[in-house]
């Protein structure tokens, strides 16, 4: 590995130890994925020195790449298995999709912003993430043609849980979604079994708006 590669590897090790394990994330597969995915490749060059810092970063189009800990927390809660087909709403930089792709069989990711969609699809292709399928459109209605999914992750804050996403969750499936007002949300986990849907709260969070038919109205 060249020098800069080793440097980023060390930054990832330290990010996992000090920001993620230190806050209670334990799943070894999630920790490995966070040690593997080169987060610095998903941020703008001018912010590359901050890629492994303990906060979100702007990615253009008034959107953000989430804080590493939040990515790990949501990924652990999703309990992704290697045979799983996962749907992500809000591709953004593509970083969360890449983390999921380390753990799942296939990841479908939807982005409503054309600029981010075009840019991120190219980056993921160039990096060789062949098990990620990028879609352009409104993720609040899900992806009926590929449903049902074993896991659904929404990475933007919704005013309420979009019904089409619940309908597209398989029996045994998990969904993680931030739900609440535009300024603060609760990270909610849904689990579907034969009896129905079970909901647990994972804690407060703050995401950009989920905009669409079953989300916030565009301004
Ligand atoms: N997962 C991303 C990452 O790893 O960089 C971070 C996502 S960012 C916090 C939220 C993203 O959701 C933005 O890129 C935004 O354009 C997108 N978004 C908002 N509403 C959406 C919708 N209805 N369908 C698809 N994407 C949406």
Domains of the chain in start order, with CATH, are: 3-205 (3.40.50.150)
Of all atoms in ligand 1, which is nearest to the CA of residue 98? 4
Of all atoms in ligand 1, which is nearest to the CA of residue 156? 10
What pLDDT score does 3 carry? 66
| Over residues 80-101, mean pLDDT | 98
89 Cα to the center of ligand 1, angstroms? 6
102 Cα to the center of ligand 1, angstroms? 20
Contact 215 CB / ligand 1 (< 6 Å): yes
Question: CA-CA distance, 16 to 119, in Å (whole number)?
Answer: 27
Question: CA-CA distance, 132 to 111, in Å (whole number)?
Answer: 13
pTM of the shown model: 0.97
Distances (CA, A) of 129 to 15, 31, 69: 23, 19, 22
The candidate with the shortest Cα–Cα distance to 108, out of 128, 132, 124, is 132
Of all atoms in ligand 1, which is nearest to the CA of residue 97? 4
Q: Would you say residue 1 has pLDDT above 90? A: no
Contact 92 CB / ligand 1 (< 6 Å): yes
Q: Would you say residue 124 has pLDDT above 70? A: yes
Contact 99 CB / ligand 1 (< 6 Å): no
Of all atoms in ligand 1, which is nearest to the CA of residue 93? 5
Contact 64 CB / ligand 1 (< 6 Å): yes
| Over residues 191-207, mean pLDDT | 97
Contact 150 CB / ligand 1 (< 6 Å): no
Q: Would you say residue 129 has pLDDT above 90? A: yes
Give the pLDDT confidence of 44-58 residue by residue, as tens digits.
999 999 999 999 999
CA-nearest residue for atom 12, ligand 1, is: 90
What pLDDT score does 153 carry? 99
Question: CA-CA distance, 182 to 110, in Å (whole number)?
Answer: 21
Contact 93 CB / ligand 1 (< 6 Å): yes
Q: Would you say residue 2 has pLDDT above 90? A: no
**Strands (DSSP E) found in the chain:** 57-60, 63-65, 85-89, 106-111, 132-136, 149-154, 169-180, 185-193, 196-205
The answer to whether residues 138 and 160 touch, using CB atoms and an 8 Å cutoff, is no
170-173 long-range contacts, Cβ below 8 Å, gap at least 24?
173/148, 173/149
Point out the residues that are catalytic. 66
156 Cα to the center of ligand 1, angstroms? 6
What pLDDT score does 4 carry? 80
């Amino acid at each position: 590995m060249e020098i800069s590669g080793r440097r980023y590897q060390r930054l990832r090790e330290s990010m996992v130890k000090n920001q993620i394990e230190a806050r209670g994330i334990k799943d070894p597969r999630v920790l490995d994925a966070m040690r593997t995915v080169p987060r610095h490749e998903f941020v703008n060059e001018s912010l590359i020195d901050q890629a492994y810092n303990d906060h979100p970063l702007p990615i253009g189009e008034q959107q953000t790449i989430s804080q590493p800990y939040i990515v790990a927390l949501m990924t652990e809660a999703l309990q992704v298995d290697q045979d799983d087909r996962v749907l992500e709403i809000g591709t953004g930089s593509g970083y969360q999709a890449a983390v999921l792709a380390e753990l799942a069989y296939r990841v479908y990711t939807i982005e409503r912003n054309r600029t981010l969609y075009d840019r991120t699809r190219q980056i993921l292709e160039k990096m060789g993430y062949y098990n990620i399928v990028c879609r352009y459109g409104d993720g609040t209605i899900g992806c009926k043609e590929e449903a049902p999914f074993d896991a659904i992750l929404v990475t933007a804050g919704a005013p309420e849980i979009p019904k089409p996403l619940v309908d597209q969750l398989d029996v045994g499936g998990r969904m993680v979604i931030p739900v609440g007002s535009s300024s603060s949300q609760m990270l909610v986990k849904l689990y579907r079994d034969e009896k129905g849907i079970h909901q647990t709260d994972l804690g407060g969070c703050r995401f950009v708006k989920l905009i669409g038919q079953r989300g916030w109205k565009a301004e």
